Structure 1
Amino acid sequence: MSLSGKTWLITGASAGFGKALVREIVARGGNAVAAARNLDDVADLVALAPERVLAQRLDVTRPGDAESAVAAALDRFGAIDVLANNAGYGFLSTIEEADDAAVRRQFETNVFGPAALMRAALPGMRARRSGFIVNVSSTAGSRGFAGSGYYSASKAALEAMTEALAGEARELGIRAMIVSPGPFRTDFFGRSIALPDSEIADYSAVIAQRRSYAASDGLQQGDPVRGAAIIIDTVTGDDPPLRLVLGGKALPTITGAYHAKLADLARSEPIAPLADFPEGE
């Protein structure tokens, strides 16, 4: 489907899904704001179509950058049709190993940054009664994974915000979607993973799992080029879902997490009503 005349603002455009999205948007005739911390990392994207690709410096943790990016997009292209919050990284730490600064960095990047961009883009979308916000989550957003609890928590928060926005803005002509990828062959583990400053040997099983993630980098089944095309097809298709799951391993991981939650909730069925006042009181 042609994207001629449509403008996407993509964060984290320097690699992975972000770069693949920009390439696919350009190939379909659309405009792209390729946002990244280092403009040299997106110079190749601008070269694809200089008149339709704007390189925008953006650090989602820096105050004012979200507003500047949206303003630059509006100044260049007049409107933002789709905001794709793709920038983020994974912090692989047990709850105990992390220090306060590392936890705050995780949430500044994965939660507060996307929130600032949504707040900056929504007024224009609301005025036009048209727009789409895509927030890239992870299978980790479906439950707290041992060894990456803070990352899981940040993605769960992003998903909850997206759900709320979908309910708030749909009547205003604005749609929202959560993208939940499984393992994809990007350089996520090479450049988008942080580790705790020190490890606690008692968590040996988690530490071993941490090592296995790095060893599997480059062998993942997920193809970011195919994934980017599916995201665009879904956004531009009829009645997009709130959740788009990508990758053969992702769906069983997420559905398994929800089945486990439902089974655990069932244990509270006879207990929950006991906390109420007796009927008639």
Structure 2
Amino acid sequence: MAEKIWFITGVSSGFGRTLAEAAAKRGDKVIGTVRQQRQLEEFNAIAPGNTFAYLLDVINPDGVKETVAAAVRHMGRIDVLVNNAGFGFLGAVEEAKVQEFKEVMETNFFGALQVTQAVLPFMRQQGGGHIIQMSSVAGFRSTQGFGVYNASKFALEGMSEALAQEVAPLGIKVSIIEPGPFRTNFAGSSIKSTQNVMPEYEGTAHVFKDRILGYAGTQEGNPEKAAQVVLQLADSDSPPLRLPLGQTAYDAVRNKLNQVAQDLDAWESIATKTSFDD
């Protein structure tokens, strides 16, 4: 199989790092973005000649454009973009300040959007490519105590679903990855919580918050196995638009689909009677 050129945001740890290592190990070239100077040499040393680190904060629009352009000058093309940079956020919707919502959206949604828009002209020019959005099962199904994060990932999925239709005739594929719980640092250093804590949500949002923070390091998912699935998806001629990762994610998606179907069936005879009689 032909060598691929990857551009992966957020490769200092977690899914991004594991995927980058797996792609480089099989002989692909990986451009990975990090946010700290000390992480540059560390990433370059993973597979010298195959891993290339760039400093980038995805919320910096000028930095995004410059970094993507530099990567293309360096490697000649980008075959696979993986928007992986992001962080989790816990707390009830009422507890969260609007500014906290904005900060999460800035990275998880607008950051991914800016990188996507910066890469698209090059993919259009080369006549193809694959954009992989690292979402979450939380981008398909909401959970009490996760509403801020849900909002950011729902936005990412809504944009990406439309994008997939727009770029398909241009030879560009779009896939949305929806992991469940995996043993990364997501529930540790990569997650934040509301500053405001309200006792009214002790029995709902805080239960979920405590569960997420309590299972760090014990999640069922193996990131290395997940990375191999993403590699298979990137190699596929007909990849899915959405791909839940892990049994928990699959069960959650099916449960929501069943719930939506039940609501549709229960209200169809009422909700569809809204047309003019003539």
- TM-score interval (norm. to shorter): over 0.9
What is the aligned partner in structure 2 of residue 201 from structure 1? 199
Whether the 8 Å CA contact 2:35–2:55 is kept in 1: the answer is yes
| Alignment partner of 1:129 out of 101, 107, 127 | 127
**Structure 2 letter corresponding to 1:134:** I
| Alignment partner of 2:184 out of 174, 186, 192 | 186
Instruction: Rate the CA distance shift 1:188–1:42 in 2: closer, same or farther, 3 A.
Output: farther
Q: CA RMSD in A?
A: 1.3
Q: Extract structure 1 runs of 4+ deviating beyond 4 A.
A: none
What is the aligned partner in structure 1 of residue 220 from structure 2? 221
TM-score, L = length of structure 2? 0.96
What is the aligned partner in structure 1 of residue 249 from structure 2? 250
The SS at the match of 2:61 is: coil
The SS at the match of 2:45 is: helix
Deviation digits for residues 99-148 of structure 1, max 9, x if unmatched?
11100001111111111111100011011111000001111111221111
Listed as ranges, the gaps of 5+ residues in structure 1 are none
Whether the 8 Å CA contact 1:92–1:148 is kept in 2: the answer is yes
Structure 1 segment 26-65 matched on structure 2, within 5 A: 26-65=24-63
**Structure 1 letter corresponding to 2:269:** P
Distance in 1, matches of 2:161 and 2:267, equals 25
The SS at the match of 1:189 is: coil
What is the aligned partner in structure 2 of residue 177 from structure 1? 175
Structure 1 segment 50-129 matched on structure 2, within 5 A: 50-129=48-127
The SS at the match of 1:94 is: coil
Percent identity, please: 39
Deviation digits for residues 14-65 of structure 1, max 9, x if unmatched?
1111001110111111111110211423533211233222211111112312
What is the aligned partner in structure 1 of residue 264 from structure 2? 265
Deviation digits for residues 164-194 of structure 1, max 9, x if unmatched?
1111111111000000101000011111111
Whether the 8 Å CA contact 2:187–2:215 is kept in 1: the answer is no
Whether the 8 Å CA contact 2:92–2:144 is kept in 1: the answer is yes
Which has the higher mean CA deviation after the structures are superposed, 229-238 or 96-105? Answer: 229-238
**Structure 1 letter corresponding to 2:270:** I
Listed as ranges, the gaps of 5+ residues in structure 2 are none
Distance in 1, matches of 2:256 and 2:135, equals 15
Distance in 2, matches of 1:220 and 1:123, equals 38
Whether the 8 Å CA contact 1:137–1:159 is kept in 2: the answer is yes
Instruction: Rate the CA distance shift 1:3–1:199 in 2: closer, same or farther, 3 A.
Output: farther
**Structure 2 letter corresponding to 1:53:** T
Instruction: Rate the CA distance shift 1:45–1:180 in 2: closer, same or farther, 3 A.
Output: same
